[in-house]
Structure 1
Amino acid sequence: MAAATVSRSPERTPVVRVRSEAAFVLSTQPWRETSVIAELLTQRHGRVTVVVRGAKRVSSRFRGIIMPFVPLVVSFSGAGDIKNLTDARWMGPMTPIDPEGLVSAFYVNELVLRLTMRSDASLRLYNDYLKVLSEVSLKDGKELSVALRTFEIKLLNSLGWSQVSKVEEIEKGGIWTVRQGELVCINELCEGEKAVSLGTALAIAKAEITSSADLREVRDVLRLIIGYYVGDTGLKTRKTLEIWSQI
């Protein structure tokens, strides 16, 4: 289990020190000549941004492990939004992700990056992320689509979006659509809106997606919902996935 300590000094931001925390790298970008900035998803501290100093040096102990989909145990410290990575080691093996699965896995990473806030801790999200990575490495076709849709809903729910309170209302019928990132019951559709079938609305509200669902409609509805929250720029890997026809 990770150990965390906080050091305080007068008129200074507290310094956080975290040791031996399970984590995955979501993305990296170069920083200065020899270092990188990495976005991590950690087990008990949520998404954390760290500087990995000297990571690009041939002799660096971080070389070859600061990359996505490698289970790590990390230690970091710092007072600001960007921490310093002080240690990282390989936790153990995972089922390799094949090239087609990698596109879906990068899509999952981008979702987490775009929809979560730094240091918003969620053990459930970390476990859901670990589960979907294992599913991406083992499944394809409908099973892969079910895994991705399920993760999308769980991620949204972890951020407080949950539509489960609407289950009884959906079961009563009516016309349902998506407005401002929510499932809503309306009297009539506005121009450009599409009705959501009751089966799909229920599946999403209950977070119970199966291979017997209308997966294309589920995908399209979740695309509208996620699109509302990520904004106009959209998701880069979503476009790649569309080209590959994997979702």
Structure 2
Amino acid sequence: MAQRALVLHRWDYQETSLILDLFTENDGRVRVVAKGAKRPKSPWRGLAQPFIPLLAEFQGRSELKTLTLLEPQQTTERLQLQGEKLYSGFYLNELIQRLVPAEGEASELFQSYLSTLHNMTASERVEPALRQFEWHLLQHLGAAFDWYYDADSGQALSNYDWCYFIPDHGFVTQARDDQQRAYLVADIEKLAAWDVDDESRLRQLKYIMRDALSVYLGDKPLRSRELFRGNHPSERS
């Protein structure tokens, strides 16, 4: 049965085919071979690329499935991502490729991903949508943390003025070392309520999400982040 899908990445395969990394609504991340997709008359030729909402079918029992159907969703238009939005879309795709296990249930994350792409298309501000997807991804990975209580003592953060974030642990009120970034508890409480209108607070959320994801990404740098910096030299982490 056909299901909603988007292409995360594609590779050339032999002379006329492509390998596609798909993010699907029912089967999560799936890798398929699109036989003949590079041929001039193939109906898949213009569809087998990122950010086009698709319907897909595939078959096979191995890790590499065989694509049997790929067509555009009739009720949606191609997502228009350009400039910073395009780089941000590649960033989302790379996060999914790196962190979401193959062929695992991820229907809620799929919907979050699709909504994020639509939000980035419609909004002038990209950052809030990115940060919200990162949070949904952490929840999907079972790595969500508590915004209101000290992960060491269990005490309410509201009893304190300052706190610190420990990746894969949560917020604490006692720093591990003098290099840790301190956060005002009042700001964390606003971030917990998703109050991201303030640019300074939104930047703090970026630091928190980046630290939280770093545990799972490891030392290998994100190609999409390096590509963005290469085209935006003034950008700083």
Compute the TM-score of the two structures, normalised by the length of structure 2: 0.85
Aligned-residue offset at 1:167 = 2.0
The answer on 1:34 being equivalent to 2:20 is: no
2:72 is aligned to 90
Counterpart CA distance in 2 for 1:105 and 1:80 is 29
**Which of 148, 161, 173 lines up with 1:167 in the alignment?**
148
Aligned pair count?
A: 225
Shift of 1:113: 1.1
- C-alpha distance in 1, partners of 2:226/2:107? 29
Q: Distance in 2 between the 1:139 and 1:228 partners?
A: 30
Amino acid at match of 1:135: N
Aligned to 1:122: 106
Distance apart, 1:148 and its partner CA: 1.0
Q: Which of 35, 51, 59 is the aligned partner of 1:77?
A: 59
CA contact (8 A) 2:8 2:22 kept: yes
Conservation of the 8 A alpha-carbon contact between 2:164 and 2:174: no
In the TM superposition, what is the alpha-carbon distance from 1:242 to its structure 2 partner?
Answer: 4.3
Q: Deviations over 1:136-168 (max 9, x none)?
A: 11223xx3211111111111112111224x524
The ranges of structure 1 where at least 4 consecutive aligned residues each deviate by more than 6 angstroms after the TM superposition are none
Q: 5+ unaligned residues in a row in structure 2: which ranges?
A: 150-155
CA contact (8 A) 2:161 2:184 kept: no
- Mapping of residues 1-247 of structure 1, within 5 Å: 19-92=1-74, 93-140=77-124, 143-164=125-146, 166-168=147-149, 169-173=156-160, 176-202=163-189, 206=192, 208-212=194-198, 214-242=201-229, 244=232, 245=235
Which amino acid in structure 2 is aligned with residue 144 of structure 1? V
Would you say the 8 A contact 2:166–2:172 is kept in 1?
Answer: no
Q: TM-score, normalised by structure 1?
A: 0.82
Give % identity: 28
